[in-house]
Amino acid sequence: MLQYVPTHTLPGHHGAAITAVSVNTDGTLLASCDTGGGIYIWSLPAGMIVQRIKASSAVLSMKWFPSNSAKMIAGTGDGTLITVELDQHAGQVNTRGIDAHGRKAIETLALRAPKQLVHETSSHLLASAGRDIIRVWAAHEGRGNTARPVMVASVNWMKEVDELLASFIYHGVVCWRWNSATNAYAATWSIYMDLCGPCLPYPCGTRLAVCNIATGFDVYQIPSGLREVALEPMEDVGIVIPIVFAHKHNLLVSGSRVGKIRIWDASTLQHLQTVRIDGSPIVQAVTTHQSFADASMIIIGTSELDGLNTIQIWETKDTGVSN
């Protein structure tokens, strides 16, 4: 049976709470950011820092470009979008920033390339969101073309290129589709929840995992909005907890505020494994990467307000034990 086992812990360079971790498309680089304005880029094979970047305010979100493994974008607490591009041969990093949210925090990002132009970096669509704003950008232009009110918890592009999915802390989940007649996004379906955290659409486009801040996690059928199942109640409710796919979308992985990483079968929703972290820190930065064949990684950053925060990595290993 395959299980996640710890492989190594990256050195503790973060002196503030880690807010996001992200792996580039070819699995060679890991980016991490924190509330102190630090952006760190690591070589995954070597486990060493490649670049350090200091922003003027907390860095709250980041994403790598899907078709450019040396380019990423980050959102800050003062509303700046920072584009970072590495030139590893010259050992240089180029950065530029724009005031994208009128000095309001950019708390979450979603980045994708339209399928028909998947290799054209300039064609990427970026959704940036925070507090009372969602904006959609052509990544090379720097102009937002839509905004929506209320408290945003997450944004995701759906399977279809013209659908944008967002979750709102006090209102639930809304899906928008681009309307060419009105040149704007229009709501197509929604799921109401009293306290809603990040949501995660399944690749099939018919299921949605949602962080229920009051109880844990729910899985819904979409677009009907019928709740299919509530995952087992958790003791660490009351905060926004991330949830991501792992192992070719076959697993669901969640963070926690009590130093646990929980892993479920994404299809049957059976609980498979709980990984415990020494010191029971808050874990609100989680990402995964499929390295090769059946091997995959889970990468987390701890988010304690005081003390040194670390990044920890687990990889799948065949333990030789069956259920």
Burial of 249 (0-12, 13-18, 19+ CB in 10 A): middle
User: Are the beta carbons of 148 and 186 closer than 8 angstroms?
Assistant: no
Closest by alpha carbon to 264, among 214, 300, 218? 218
Alpha-helical regions (H) of the chain: none
Spell out the per-residue pLDDT of the chain, length 323, in tens. 788 888 888 888 898 999 999 999 999 999 999 999 999 999 988 888 989 999 989 999 999 998 888 999 999 999 989 988 887 676 678 888 888 898 899 999 998 775 544 334 345 788 999 988 999 887 653 334 443 346 889 999 987 657 899 999 888 898 888 877 888 888 888 888 878 899 999 998 889 999 888 888 889 888 878 888 877 656 666 777 889 999 889 999 998 888 889 999 999 989 899 999 988 888 889 999 987 767 789 999 998 887 789 999 998 876 655 55
Considering only CA atoms, which of 103, 117, 171, 110 is closest in space to residue 136? 110
List, in sequence order, every residue forming a beta bridge with 176; answer none if it has no partner. Answer: 164, 187
CA 258, distance to chain mean position in Å, is: 20
Domains of the chain, each with CATH number or no CATH: 1-11+242-323 (no CATH), 12-235 (2.130.10.10)
Q: How many CB atoms are located within 10 Å of the residue 321 CB?
A: 7
Say if strands 243-246 and 227-230 run parallel, antiparallel, or are unpaired.
unpaired
Residue by residue, what is the 3-state secondary structure of 8-21?
EEEEEEECCCEEEE
State pTM to two decimals: 0.74
Cα distances (angstroms) measured from residue 272 to each of 30, 95, 239, 250: 26, 41, 23, 12
